[in-house]
């Protein structure tokens, strides 16, 4: 009865909060739209001005969502209490016999192996410190397709297991067929091992989580049996490039407030972000299988952004999805440069636009339909801003070329005098600026006066300076992001699909050649746009200059923000600091140190760490490991398989490893007899001449 009463109160509060949010969005948006009409020279009476009003009203409503989310997050954090917070369950003791098994999943695909293994090691040791290691297993689920990367990962995993003595705790599997990317990787795990676990914590390749945070999440799920997915709000860390430091500072300074605001509006209808979350395995397996969309990619075929869809399916089945905004000890890394960020955004844009096809799926909760629309608007809004600016520019050029119309189409004794009031436009611009930047002021007030964490950001004055710096660079980079996001939406709607490869996770800077190739078209467009407006409406040019000039300067901005020199200099000056740098948790120190140690670790035979295939042929330990794993499930090969094995063995011994195609390398790695034959011959034939020749080629 008590649970039913709590559920009824939550449902009532959810409906009330969302009704208030709807009014807070619609009423100011209507007033802003009317004001825009009064500012325009023709008062919105022309088709062009009407289009400007419509586009602006949509955009005003869009940015209002973020503003009111920040406002309610501010109130939530200032009160330090929300009766519906999932973490209240931590005050309720667990049953004595409660010891559910949890799998920690690291789905990876062609990632930096030392960084992945450092994250695994850090998480395992952190779990060990909780004293509950026996309740957790770690599974590294690899979709890496090349022979070199596969063997590099397998060797690193074996070494880590040996070092930690975790033979029955840390597992590795390389998937033979990469279907449906990460969602397919997790689904494959569920089919193989899902019934052995109550929960699974899904990570990204760069995720790190504190052991006690994982235990707290299990505790919450045990005490709240209707929660199907519990999502944390991961903090960003680990970047030294200027862009990376700007992004992780924004995440740490403003992120907690926005996460609290999302919780306030969403409650049990939250979204799942695909990583750093705990999932109840049984309902996930039963209800969260992803459909295949009709038609061809990019808008058809396999669903790319699986996380929002899985959350909506879990909710449709009656299970709740919560954002544990107040749980700390959950981390991830952000892209190091603008090119990496935009390449990731292009993939996300395609995936989020696919969600529009699911808006009217039967049985979905209204909140998740809104989340689908919200995800698509993350990119469509850029196209709308772009259209708004183009329409405004066209209006200015048209007014300059054609001149105003003094007499309306209807008969009138008196002319109509179009009036342009710059002050009105400044008021409109200022209102938009408040919606965008006032939340950052609120974040500053929370850090300085409520949580009193200013020292962790370098002090109150340095924190304020960092916010000003972040706002300045955000203003510079926003037009570039707008241009590219608009482009991504257009090319997706035109039917051009993209790849879904691994992300760049190191601090390698952008070259001028890459910047020219990626930003050259945008630079030319900015010059053309600005030149036309300057030629025909020079006074209006200064209104759009803050947008046009960053697009024109996108190449140097992209290169500058990709280097770690400016980032390190700012760090020395105490700017853009985050708590993970000033007072890092043990896990942050560990993953940084372990990554450096694993990158510097010597490799037997002085082979490159990345030469995994050659290591499997020559290194006795790697070769023996590969054959031992194969012999666990050895099958008697047929005559055709034996002939193919003999042919590959002869080919590699006579022409060398590089003569094999990628597919032939993978075939040999799945042949224990062929691997043994090649290994023996490489060490014994002609007194090791074959081995020495291969080592010289490495």
Q: Taking Cα atoms as reference points, which of 491, 635, 588, 524 lies closest to residue 235?
A: 588
Region of poorest pLDDT, from 82-91, 249-258, 572-581, 633-642: 633-642
3-state secondary structure of 165: coil
Is the model more confident about 698 or about 478?
Answer: 478
Write the pLDDT tens digit of every residue in 476-523.
999 999 999 999 999 999 888 665 555 666 678 999 999 999 999 999
The confidence band for 414, taking pLDDT boundaries of 50, 70 and 90, is: very low
| Distance, CA of 275 to CA of 202 (rounded, Å) | 5
| Distance, CA of 277 to CA of 54 (rounded, Å) | 39
- Calculate Rg over the CA atoms of the chain: 29
State yes or no: pLDDT of 609 exceeds 60: yes
The share of the chain scoring above pLDDT 70, in percent, equals 93
pLDDT of residue 178: 85
3-state secondary structure of 437: helix
Beta-carbon neighbour count of residue 610 at 10 Å?
15
| Distance, CA of 547 to CA of 389 (rounded, Å) | 9
Asked whether the beta carbons of 90 and 136 are under 8 A apart, the reply is: no
Asked whether the beta carbons of 496 and 623 are under 8 A apart, the reply is: no
Is the model more confident about 478 or about 409?
Answer: 478
The 3 state secondary structure assigned to 237-284 is CCCCCHHHHHHHHHHHHHHHHHHHHHHHHHCCECCCCCCCEEEEHHHH
CA of 425: how far to CAs of 29, 39, 145, 389, 610, in Å? 16, 6, 55, 14, 58
Q: Taking Cα atoms as reference points, which of 133, 58, 56, 71 lies closest to residue 99?
A: 133
Specify the pTM: 0.91
| Distance, CA of 211 to CA of 123 (rounded, Å) | 6
| Distance, CA of 579 to CA of 249 (rounded, Å) | 9
pLDDT of residue 581: 95
pLDDT of residue 418: 47
Write the pLDDT tens digit of every residue in 331-344.
999 999 999 999 99
Beta-carbon contacts of 76 under 8 Å, excluding residues fewer than 6 positions away, are: 82, 260, 261, 263, 264
Beta-carbon neighbour count of residue 300 at 10 Å?
15
The DSSP secondary structure of 3-41, one letter per residue, reads HHHHHHHHHHHHHHHHHHHHHHHHHHHHHHHHHHHHHST
pLDDT of residue 141: 97
Average pLDDT of 278-293? 94
State yes or no: pLDDT of 392 exceeds 90: no
Beta-carbon contacts of 449 under 8 Å, excluding residues fewer than 6 positions away, are: none
* Long-range contact set of residues 165-168: C-beta below 8 Å, sequence gap at least 24: 166/124, 166/138
**Backbone phi and psi for residue 136, each to the nearest 5 degrees, phi listed first:** -125, 140
Write the pLDDT tens digit of every residue in 434-493.
888 899 999 999 999 988 889 999 999 999 999 999 999 999 999 999 999 999 999 999
pLDDT of residue 426: 67
Write the pLDDT tens digit of every residue in 295-319.
888 888 888 889 999 999 999 999 9
Ramachandran bin of 322, using left for φ above 0, alpha for ψ from -120 to 50, beta for the remaining angles: beta
The confidence band for 417, taking pLDDT boundaries of 50, 70 and 90, is: very low
- For residues 457, 463, 468 and 472, what is the CA-based torsion angle, rounded to 10 degrees? -10
| Distance, CA of 643 to CA of 27 (rounded, Å) | 76
As a whole number, the mean pLDDT across the chain is: 89
Write the pLDDT tens digit of every residue in 686-697.
878 888 889 888
């Amino acid at each position: 009865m008590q649970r039913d009463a709590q559920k009824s109160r939550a449902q009532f509060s959810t409906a009330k909060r969302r009704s208030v949010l709807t009014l807070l969005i619609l009423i100011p948006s209507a007033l802003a739209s009317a004001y825009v009409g009064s500012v325009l020279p023709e008062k919105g009476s022309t088709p062009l001005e009407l289009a400007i009003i419509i586009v602006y009203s949509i955009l005003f409503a869009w940015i209002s969502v973020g503003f009111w989310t920040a406002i309610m997050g501010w109130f939530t954090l200032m009160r330090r209490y929300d009766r519906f917070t999932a973490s209240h369950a931590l005050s309720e003791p667990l049953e004595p016999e409660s010891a559910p098994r949890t799998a920690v999943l690291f789905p990876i695909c062609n990632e930096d192996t030392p960084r992945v293994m450092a994250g695994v090691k850090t998480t395992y040791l952190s779990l060990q410190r909780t004293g509950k290691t026996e309740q957790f297993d770690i599974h590294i689920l690899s979709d890496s397709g090349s022979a070199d990367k596969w063997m590099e990962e397998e060797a690193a995993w074996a070494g880590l297991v040996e070092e930690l003595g975790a033979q029955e705790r840390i597992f590795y599997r390389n998937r033979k067929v990469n279907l449906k990317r990460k969602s397919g990787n997790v689904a494959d795990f569920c089919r193989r091992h899902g019934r052995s676990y109550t929960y699974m914590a899904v990570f990204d390749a760069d995720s790190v989580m504190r052991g006690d945070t994982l235990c707290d999440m299990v505790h919450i799920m045990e005490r709240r049996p209707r929660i199907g997915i519990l999502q944390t709000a991961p903090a960003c860390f680990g970047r030294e490039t200027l862009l990376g430091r700007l992004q992780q500072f924004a995440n740490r300074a403003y992120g907690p407030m926005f996460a609290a605001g999302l919780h306030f509006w969403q409650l049990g209808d939250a979204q799942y972000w695909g990583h750093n979350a705990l999932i109840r395995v049984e309902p996930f397996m039963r209800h969260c299988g992803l459909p295949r969309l009709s038609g061809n990619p990019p808008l058809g075929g396999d669903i790319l952004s699986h996380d929002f869809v899985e959350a909506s399916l879990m909710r449709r089945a009656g299970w709740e999805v919560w954002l544990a905004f107040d749980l700390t000890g959950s981390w991830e890394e952000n892209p190091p440069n603008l090119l990496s960020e935009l390449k990731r955004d292009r993939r996300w844009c395609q995936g989020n636009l696919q969600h529009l096809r699911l808006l009217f799926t039967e049985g979905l909760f209204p909140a998740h339909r809104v989340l689908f629309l919200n995800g698509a608007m993350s990119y469509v809004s850029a196209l709308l801003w772009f259209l708004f600016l183009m329409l405004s520019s066209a209006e200015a050029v048209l007014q300059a070329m054609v001149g105003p119309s003094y007499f309306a189409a209807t008969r009138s004794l008196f002319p109509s005098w179009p009036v342009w009031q710059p002050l009105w436009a400044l008021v409109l611009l200022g209102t938009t600026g408040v919606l965008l930047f006032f939340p950052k002021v609120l974040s500053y007030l929370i850090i300085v006066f409520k949580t009193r964490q200013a020292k962790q950001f370098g002090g109150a004055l340095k924190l304020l300076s960092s916010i000003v710096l972040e706002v300045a660079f955000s203003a510079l980079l926003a037009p570039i992001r707008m241009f590219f996001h608009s482009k991504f939406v257009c090319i997706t709607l035109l039917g051009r699909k993209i790849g879904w490869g691994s992300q760049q996770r190191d601090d390698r800077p952008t070259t001028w050649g890459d910047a020219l190739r990626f930003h050259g078209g945008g630079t030319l467009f900015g010059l053309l746009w600005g030149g036309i407006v300057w030629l025909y409406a020079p006074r209006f040019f200064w209104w759009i200059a803050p947008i046009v000039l960053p697009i024109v300067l996108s190449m140097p901005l992209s290169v500058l923000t990709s280097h770690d020199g400016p980032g390190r200099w700012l760090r020395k000056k105490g700017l853009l600091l985050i708590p993970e740098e000033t007072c890092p948790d043990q896990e942050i120190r560990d993953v940084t140190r372990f990554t450096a140690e694993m990158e510097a670790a010597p490799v037997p035979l002085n082979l490159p760490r990345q030469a995994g295939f050659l290591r499997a042929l020559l290194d006795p330990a790697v070769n023996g490991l590969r054959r031992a794993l194969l012999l666990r499930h050895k099958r008697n090969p047929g005559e055709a398989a034996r002939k193919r094995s003999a042919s590959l063995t002869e080919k590699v011994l006579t022409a060398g490893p590089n003569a094999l195609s990628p597919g032939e390398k993978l075939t040999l790695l799945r042949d224990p007899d062929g691997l043994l034959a090649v290994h023996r011959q490489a060490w014994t034939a002609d007194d090791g001449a074959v081995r020495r020749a291969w080592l010289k080629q490495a």
